[in-house]
Structure 1
Amino acid sequence: MIEPLHDILLNWKVHPSSIETVESHPNVYKVKSRKKTYYLKKRLNSSVEKRIEELLLTSFLLEKGLPVERPLLTVSQQPYVQQHPVFYSLYQALEGLPVQVYSLSSMEGVGTYLSQLHSRLKQYVCKYKVEEWKVETHLREWIGGKETKMIERWGEGFLGRLNEWSYSYRKLPHQLVHSDCHPRNILMKEKRATGIIDFERIRKAPRIADVCYFLAGMLKDQVKQREDEQLECIHAFMGGYQSDGTLTQEEKELIPFLVIIFLLQYTFFYNQKGYSHVVSAYIPFINRLVNSGDYQRAFQM
C-alpha cells in the first residue's frame, strides 16, 4: 500500500522519508518529508464539488484570521488527486495536538474558538449545494426498530421528548456548520485552541448542533469523572462560546437535550458494534444527566 502512496504524493512534489497510518484512522496517513509533517487523507464517497468547496471555505476562513486545515494544491493546481472513486487530499500539519485534557481553561478556549468559527461560517457563501444535518435521523431509526432488546425499549422513553424538542429545534436559524467538531478534530497547544481539522462533512444546521456535538464527545470521554468536574467543563465551554457572541434563551434551553441526543447516538452505535461494556456504562450515565437539575443549570450563563 505504501508504494502507490509515494506516487500519489509526487502530485504535490512531496518526497516522503516515512509514511504511517494514523491510529484508529485507516484512511489517514502521516507523512514526513524534509522536516515537515503532512497528512494524506483518502476520501471515499466524495466528489469534485465537495473537494472544491473545502478549498474555498478553508481559504476563506484563513483569510478571516482563523487557523484551519486547508488542502494543498497539486502541481496541476487542484486540491485533490482522483483515482476513481477515491479522492486524495494533502494537508500540512497544523500546530497543536487534539484535545486530550479537559481543563477549565482549555474548554473555555475551545468555546471561544468555536464561536469565532461560527461567526465566520455565517458569512461564507457556498459555491455548491450543501445538505442539511438531520441530527436525529439515525436515533429515530434505531429506536423505531422492530427488535425488542433492552436498549431499544430504554430508548423509547426519549421519543416523546424528542418529538417536542424537534419542533423547536427546526425553527432555529440554520447556517453552515462543521458537523464533525468532536474533540479529536480540535487542536490545542498550552490550553489554547490552535485550529480545527477535517472539513469533509460541512452541512447546514443550527449552530448549536456543533456546540452539542463537541460537548457530547467531551462527556463520553468523561463518563468516569466526577459529576461536578463534568459540569464545570460544560460551564467553562459555554462561557468561552458566549464571550464572542451570546446564545439566545431558546438555544440555551434546547442545548441540554441535544447533547443527550448525541450521547444516545453514541450508545446505540456502540451497541450495534457489540461493545456491551461501553453501553452498560453509558445508560446510567445518560439517565443521571437527564434527571440532574445541575446538568440543566450548567448551560445557563
Structure 2
Amino acid sequence: MIEPLHDLLLNWKIHPSSIENVESHPNVYKLRSREKTFYLKKRLNSSVEKRMEELLLTSFLLEKGITVERPMLTVSHQPFVKQFQVFYSLYQALEGLPVQFYSFTSLEGVGTYLSQLHSRLKQYTCKYEVEEWKVETHLREWISGQDSKMIERCGEGFLGRLNEWSFSYRKLSHQLVHSDCHPRNILMKEGRVTGVIDFERIRKAPRIADVCYFLAGMLKDQVKQREDEQFESIHAFMEGYQSDSTLTQEEKGLMPFLVIIFLLQYTFYYNQKGYSHVVSTYIPFINKLVKSGVYERAFQM
C-alpha cells in the first residue's frame, strides 16, 4: 500500500523521503519530506460535508488562538483527496507528543486547554449538519453485544441507574465537542499543551462528554496506580478546567457516572477483541470506583 501513496501525495506536491505506518493506527501514515513531518490519514465512512466542516472548524479555532491539527489544501484547494469511497487528508505534524505521563501540573494544563477549546467550540456555527453524540445509546449497543455473565460482573446495580442518569444528562446544554478527546489526541511538550489533533468525529453533546472521555482514558492508563493518586489526578484536571470555565453542580454530579460509562465501553471493546487479561483487570477496577465514595468527591471542588 505504501508505494501508491507517492502518487496520491502529489496532490499536495509532497515528495516524501520516507513513509511508514503508525503503530496501532492502520489508517494513518507518517511521512518525512524536506525535514518536515506529515501525517496522511485515511478517512473511512466519511463525506465531503464532514471533511469541509473539519477544515472550517479547525481554521476557526486557529484564528481564535487554539492550536489544532488542520487539513492541508491540495493543489486544487480541497482539504482531501477522494479515491472511490475513501477520503485522504494530509496534516503537518504539530509540536509535542501525545500525553503519556500524568503529572498534576500537566493534568491541570490539559484541563485548562480543554476548557478553552470548549469555549471556542461554543462560539462556532456549523455550516453542515453535525450528528449528536449519543453516549447512552452507544453503551446500550455495547451491552446488547455482550454475554450475560459479562454484564453481571460489571454490576447490575450500576446499569440499573442508567435510565435515571440519562434523563438528567439529556437535559444538559449541548454544544459542539471534539468527541475523541482521549490522551493520545492531546499533545504536550515540556509540561505544556501544544495542541489537539484529530477532529474527524466532531459531534454535539454536553461538554462534560469530552471531559469524561479524557478522564476515562487517563484512568485506564492508571489502573495499576494507587487509588489516592488516581483521585488526585482527577482533582488536578478539574482544577485546571475550572480555572477557565466553571462547571455546574449538576454537571459535576453526572461526571463520575459518565466516566464509568466510558470505562465500561473500553472494557466491552477489549472483551470483544478477546483481550481477557485486560478485561480481568478493568472489571474489578470499575466495580471499585462504583463503590467508592472518595471517587465521586474527586469531581467536587
Alignment of 1:91-102 (within 5 A): 91-102=91-102
Structure 1 CA distance for aligned equivalents of residues 206 and 146 of structure 2:
31
The residue number in structure 1 matching 2:42 is 42
Match of 1:230 in 2: 230
Deviates more, 1:266-275 or 1:16-25: 266-275
1:241 equivalent to 2:241? Answer: yes
Identity %: 84
- Equivalent-residue separation in structure 2 for 1:173 and 1:181 (angstroms): 19
Query: 1:198: Cα distance to partner?
Result: 0.4
CA contact (8 A) 1:108 1:238 kept: yes
Residues 122-143 of structure 1, C-alpha deviation per residue, up to 9 Å, x if partnerless? 0000000000000122321333
Q: CA deviation at 1:84?
A: 1.4
CA distance in structure 1 between the partners assigned to 2:31 and 2:232 by the alignment: 38
How many residue pairs get aligned? The number is 300
Match of 2:33 in 1: 33
**2:270 counterpart of 1:256:** no
Contact 2:165 2:254 in 1 (8 A): yes
Match of 1:271 in 2: 271
Gaps of 5+ in 1: none
> Equivalent residue of 2:123, what SS?
coil
One-letter amino acid matched to 1:151: M
- After TM superposition, give the deviation of residue 147 of structure 1 in Å: 3.6
Alpha-carbon offset, residue 160 of structure 1: 1.7
- After superposition, the C-alpha distances for 1:164-187 in whole angstroms (9 at most, x for unaligned) are 100000000000000000000000
Letter in 2 for 1:176: L
Question: Given that residues 145 and 152 in structure 1 are in contact (C-alpha distance below 8 angstroms), is that contact kept between their aligned partners in structure 2?
Answer: no
Counterpart residue number, 1:153: 152
Residue 28 to residue 144, structure 1, CA distance change in 2 (3 Å): closer
Q: Residue deviations 1:218-263, cap 9 Å, x none? A: 0000110111111111000000000001000000000011000000
Counterpart in the other structure of 1:78 = 78
Aligned mates of 1:181, 1:245 — CA distance in 2: 18
TM-score normalised to structure 1 length: 0.98
Indicate the residue corresponding to 2:119 in structure 1. 119
Residue-by-residue CA offset, 1:51-71 (whole Å, 9 max, x unaligned): 000000000000000000000
Deviations along 1:89-122, one digit per CA (max 9) or x if unpaired, are: 0000000000010100010000000000000000
Matches within 5 A, 1:214-225: 214-225=214-225
Mapped contact 1:142–1:152 kept (Cα < 8 A): no
2:165 counterpart residue number: 165
What are structure 2's unaligned runs of at least 5 residues? none
Task: Output the CA distance in 1 between the equivalents of 2:23 and 2:57.
Answer: 27
Q: Deviation of residue 154 (structure 1)?
A: 2.8
